[in-house]
Amino acid sequence: MNKRSTLDSLVLYLYNETELTDSVLIQDAIDHDDEIAETYNSLIQARDLIHHTLLSPEPILRENIMLYAKLTAAHA
């Protein structure tokens, strides 16, 4: 298995998009190959960071959006 197909498989596995037989093989690879386990853990961290960023914008960003809305509403 090359690195690209391994990465693709890990991403699919991360999002529960693999068949049961593939899931078993991927989990076995994660359990027995340190490099694959490290890559998978990095993917988990990236996913969690993306979800956090998309779900919890910084307060200043929300304030800027509200300020912009108020300013543009005055000109409408």
> pLDDT for 18-55, tens place per residue?
999 999 999 999 999 999 999 999 999 999 998 877 77
Residues in the chain: 76
Whole domain around residue 28: which residue ranges? 3-74
CA distance 53 to 20: 31
Report pTM: 0.67
pLDDT bin (cut points 50, 70, 90) of residue 73 is confident
Answer for the pair 10, 46: CB distance below 8 angstroms, yes or no: no
**Which of 50, 2, 9 minimizes the C-alpha distance to 30?**
9
pLDDT tens readout for residues 46-60: 999 988 777 777 889
Indicate whether 1 pLDDT > 60.
Answer: no
Coil vs helix vs strand at 18: coil
Number of domains, the chain? 1
CA distance 70 to 64: 10
Q: What angle do CA 12, 16, 19 make, to 5 degrees?
A: 80
